[in-house]
Amino acid sequence: MLIRIATEKILFTHKTLRISLQAVCKFSTSNTLKSNRMDRFALPKRFQGSTTSVWNEYVPLALKYKPLNLGQGFPDFAAPEYVTDALSKIAASENPLMNQYTRGFGHPRLVQALSKLYSKLVGRDIDGNTEVMITCGAYEALFCAILSNVDAGDEVIIIEPFFDCYEPMVRAADGVPRFIPLKPTKSDGVITSADWVLDEKELEKLFNEKTKAIIINTPHNPIGKVFNREELEKIAELCKKWNVLCISDEVYEWLVFDKAEHIRMCTLPGMWERTVTIGSAGKTFSVTGWKIGWAYGPSNLINNLQMVHQNCVFTCATPLQEAVAQGFELEMTRLDSPECYFNYLPKDLKKKRDYMAKFLEEAGMKATIPDGGYFMLADWSSLENKVDMASETDKYRDYRFTKWMTKNMGLQGIPPSAFYSEKNKPLAENYVRYCFMKKDENLEKAEEVFKKWK
Ligand code: PMP
Ligand code: GLN
């Protein structure tokens, strides 16, 4: 009897233990499952580490505080009337096909216009159908150029500061970004964008067997540097030596001042066959909201881009492409005349640049005078004692400064550390980037803000 009771007890205890063990297991399995389930929905590895971009942070900030917006780069004045008129007419056109899909790799009229223009500028016959592709802004051209050429483990050289999407795009391709900063060679007197240079030895050291591509940007955002022939030749020499692709972001190609000359990398000897050049209607015709861009280069490279484009965007907006085509057709009839928008706009913009440089200097900032583009970098560090940024929590001082300015002085700029790799962000903390592609009255308002502050 005793034995039976003892046996039953043991069995009972065993059973309870088993049940509770099962319950524990079930609980932890369900937790593991739960976390596994959540992991399932995390960003894939190639996007991990991504954070909200500076644009997605500063545009909402501008919407909230309504500052004078010298931050995000866009003109606050009207685009040429004939371009916007063309779009209205096209949208209301009797031809219903103007509002339907067009050719995937680019609307025929636009690729023809671009091939005619760039054949002239580059000095070779460019085939609109095979050597030009239309994209959703220069962003998509960059994305296709990078994703269609960079393989896992390939190294891509990126010059700092860089337009911020370059790095995440390279990582999205499982590529390895290798950075090299442009450094100012001067700290006194008038500093121009030409004073920011690459260290040639450092550049040489970056190239190796794993280097697949280098991304260059001329005229440059945010410094405004227009790379000179010698600088481009050095990069070209290394590209040829190491059999490297050059992705040349030339969206500000028409915005050059004074004696600066925009040289297209693809025109250098031996570079056509290894260069994808990128442009933007947003910058060319002051219509950033249209998001029409393009890439041109040799057909084998453009074919690579087409393979990415055809299965994501497939085709870009037809009426916008038609209007941009008409814009180019008109400008091509007067390329050498002062009325040509491409000649007129930089002249007007130069006045805005000089005006901004003056009021920033008067406010105590040290500006870098840009030779191209529509941004100006200024060193604000001498004003630091006038700023109480304690309420701002960002890691880098340029973020704290620009947020403080937006909220307290009603003027927004962009923190240039957004254009540096994590390691080199401290190089940018003393700077702020302002856009001068703004109405004179708004630049005057900006001057007032700085004057009052003084
Ligand atoms: N590259 C650079 C250097 C830029 O500043 C920009 C921003 N406009 C782009 C590419 C993207 O241009 P888009 O608006 O045509 O996509
Ligand atoms: N290219 C523009 C700039 O640098 C706009 C970029 C953006 O809004 N994503 O300000």
Q: What is the mean pLDDT of residues 28-39?
A: 64
Question: Which pLDDT band holds residue 186 (cuts at 50, 70, 90)?
Answer: very high
Going from the Cα of 154 to the center of ligand 1, the distance in angstroms, rounded, reads 24
Query: Can you tell me which atom of ligand 2 is nearest the CA of 288?
Result: 5
Instruction: Examine the domain organization and report whether 58 and 198 are in the same domain.
Output: no
* pLDDT(20) > 60: no
Distance 22 CA to ligand 1 centre (A): 58
**Residue 219 class from Cβ within 10 Å (0-12 exposed, 13-18 middle, 19+ buried)?**
buried
Nearest listed ligand to the Cα of residue 139: 1
Whose atoms come closest to the Cα of 159: which ligand? 1
Model confidence over 423-446: pLDDT tens digits? 999 999 999 999 999 999 999 999
> What confidence score (pLDDT) does residue 453 get?
82
The atom of ligand 2 lying closest to the CA of 59 is: 8
pLDDT tens for 337-377 read 999 999 999 999 999 999 999 999 999 999 999 999 999 99
If pLDDT is split at 50, 70 and 90, which confidence band does 30 have? low
Question: Final residue of a domain: which of 332, 359, 388?
Answer: 332
In a domain, 379, yes or no: yes
318-337 average pLDDT score: 98
Q: Check which CATH number belongs to the domain holding 358 and give it.
A: 3.90.1150.10
Closest ligand relative to 69 C-alpha: 2
Q: Ligand 2 pocket, 148 CB below 6 A?
A: no
User: Do 115 and 254 lie in a common domain?
Assistant: yes
Residue-level pLDDT at 15 = 52
Domain total for the chain?
2
Q: Which of 158, 162, 163 to mutate to test the pocket of ligand 1 (most atoms within 8 A of CB)?
A: 163
The model's pTM is 0.92
Q: Are residues 260 and 174 in the same domain?
A: yes
222 preceded by a cis bond (ω within 30 of 0)? yes
Q: Does residue 221 have its Cβ closer than 6 Å to ligand 2?
A: yes
Q: Supply the Cα-derived Rg of the chain in whole angstroms.
A: 27
Residues 286 and 375 in one domain: no
Average pLDDT of the chain is 93
Mutate to test the pocket of ligand 1, among 139, 218, 294 (most ligand atoms within 8 A of CB): 139
pLDDT at 317: 98
What domain range is 422 assigned to? 54-78+340-453
**Closest ligand 2 atom, CA of 222?**
4
Whether the predicted pLDDT of 292 surpasses 50: yes
Atom in ligand 2 nearest the alpha carbon of residue 251: 1
Q: Which residues pair with 183 in a beta bridge?
A: 197
Mean pLDDT of 384-389: 92
58 and 194: one domain? no
Q: Looking at the structure, do residues 193 and 160 belong to the same domain, yes or no?
A: yes
Residue 163 Cα: closest atom of ligand 1: 3
Residue minimizing CA distance to atom 4 of ligand 2 = 73
Band of residue 39 on the pLDDT scale cut at 50, 70, 90: confident
Residue 102 is predicted with a pLDDT of: 98
Per-residue pLDDT, 31: 61
Per-residue pLDDT tens digits for 203-230: 999 999 999 999 999 999 999 999 999 9
Residue 39 counted as domain residue: no
Pair 282, 380 in one domain:
no
Distance from the CA of 55 to the center of ligand 2, in angstroms? 7
- CA of residue 190 to ligand 2 center, whole Å: 27
Measured CA distances, 412 to 125, 172, 178, 382, 451 (Å): 44, 30, 31, 18, 16
Note whether residue 96 is domain-resident: yes
In which band, very low, low, confident or very high, does the pLDDT at 259 lie, cut at 50, 70 and 90?
very high
Structure tokens that stand for 225 in this block: 């540097």
Q: Please check whether residue 36 lies inside any domain of the structure.
A: no
Sheet containing 176-181: which strands, arranged edge to edge? 132-136, 292-296, 275-280, 245-249, 211-217, 155-160, 176-181
Are residue 282 and residue 392 in the same domain, yes or no? no
* Residues in the ligand 1 pocket, defined by CB under 6 Å: 73, 137-139, 163, 217, 221, 249, 251, 280, 282, 288, 291, 293
Q: Return the ligand number nearest the Cα of 72.
A: 2
* pLDDT tens digits for range 128-172: 999 999 999 999 999 999 999 999 999 999 999 999 999 999 999
Asked if residue 87 belongs to a domain, the reply is yes
Residue 14, domain member (yes or no)? no
Same domain, 310 and 326: yes
* Mean pLDDT computed over 37-54: 88
pLDDT at 27 > cutoff 70: no
10 falls in which pLDDT band (50, 70, 90)? very low
> b or e along 338-365 (b: 16 or more beta carbons within 10 Å of the residue's beta carbon)?
eebbbeebbeebbebbebbbebbeebbb
Examine the fold and report which residue of 290, 314, 332 is the final residue of a domain before the chain moves on: 332
From the CA of 188, how far away is ligand 1's center (Å)?
31
- 328 and 398 housed in the same domain: no
Which of the listed residues 55, 136, 249, 286 should we mutate to test ligand 2's pocket, taking the one with most ligand atoms within 8 A of CB? 55
Q: Among the bound ligands, name the one nearest to the CA of residue 280.
A: 1
Region 225-240: mean pLDDT is 98
β-pair partners for 191: 368
Instruction: Give 3-state DSSP helix, strand, coil % of the chain, rounded to 5.
Output: 50, 15, 35
Whole-number pLDDT of residue 9: 52
- The pLDDT assigned to 25 comes to 43
Tokens standing for residue 81: 């009337």
Final residue belonging to a domain, choices 311, 332, 353: 332
Closest to 171 in 3D by CA, of 47, 54, 53, 51: 47
